Amino acid sequence: MFVAGFRGCEIGNDHWIAAAMGRDQLGGVILFERNVDGSIQNIDSPQQLKQLVKNVCQYAALPPFIAVDQEGGKVCRLKESAGFAPSRSAAELAREGVAATVRHSAIMAAELAECGINLNFAPVVDLDLNPDNPIISRYQRSFGADPAEVVVHAQAFLEAHHRQGIGCCLKHFPGHGSAGRDSHLGFVETTDCWQSIELEPYRRLIASGYSDGIMTAHLVNRHLDPSGLPATLSPLVIEGLLRRELGFSGVVFSDDLQMRAISQGWSFTEAVQRAVLAGVDVLVVGNNLSPVEDAVQEGIRAIEALLDSGRVDGNRIRASLERIALFKEKITGKQPWTPLGPPTAS
């Protein structure tokens, strides 16, 4: 139930991630090109990346997620400067038309597969509703403000990845496009700016058969949860809205639990426990903003404490493990991808 980041362009027997992959049965890793200080973290060249992925898998007790944020444009871990294919932002592709998204997504997915990446934390399906948004609109991460246009481009992106055996993860639920602040940096509330139309890309893609992954946002929206919990920690948003109302049956990933919107309000143990109680299946620990080598073990202890105290039922944890296992069976070709039907309006 954990995907963790780590530092190093190569790993050996003495690296903590090797022990976590085997001893702790870590669910997967997330790779970054650079640390926040600008130094190289995991990705230096195509050949180096292939070898790193091979080494990670060698230590894994179970088939791992090998994940990146490869949206294209500014949010791009496999960069042209390191020898990878050039990529385009969602906004650029939307201006060129769906055929451009089909073409560029195919190139991107083929390169990811060649390097051993099997999970892309993309596409972004946030609507571009606020031109002053510092993290979505500023970096041209959205396909646009029209849900129908966003869905058509997102579906082209998804289908290209599925053809290469790569899973995807829509983000950032329930919608980050109207926000005025960046949750990497601290508390973000969208109560006064969020619009229900921001749910439409999720509603339409889920209705079309999408069942890979969806990533939660660390955003507070008191219309959706009057208690003021951010979506990642909110049972009303995850179990209520995403699962029951929208009918999502796939894997729910948290955004990075070390982002300040979470870490400034809750300890890591509290954040893990609240996210699990809210319905999150996979806890993402980037180890980029605040690297902690024992975060995975601390997270495991946090979930074990929930079980020991009776605050969570064992069936709830088994349900997450079953969803994760099914997703990995699709990635490894043991189960077929769910065909995506025509996206329909609500």
Residues identified as active-site: 184, 255
Looking at this protein, which amino acid is placed at residue 143?
Answer: F
Question: Coil, helix or strand for 218?
Answer: coil
Cβ(10)–Cβ(52) under 8 Å?
yes
Largest CA distance in the chain: 55
Query: Angle at which helices 147-163 and 200-207 pack, to 10 degrees?
Result: 50
Specify whether the CB–CB gap between 48 and 9 falls below 8 A: yes
What residues have CB less than 8 Å from 295, skipping those under 6 apart? 4, 258, 268, 285, 287
How far is residue 234's CA from residue 134's CA, in Å, rounded to a whole number? 24
Count CB neighbours of 346 within 10 A: 10
Mark residue 341 as left, alpha or beta (left: phi above 0; alpha: psi -120 to 50; beta: remaining).
beta
Q: Cβ of 35: how many Cβ atoms within 10 Å?
A: 16
CA distance 92 to 286: 28
306 three-class SS: helix
Query: How far apart are the C-alpha atoms of 245 and 29, rounded to whole Å?
Result: 31
d(CA 341, CA 16): 43
Measured in whole angstroms, how far is the alpha carbon of residue 285 from the centre of its chain? 11
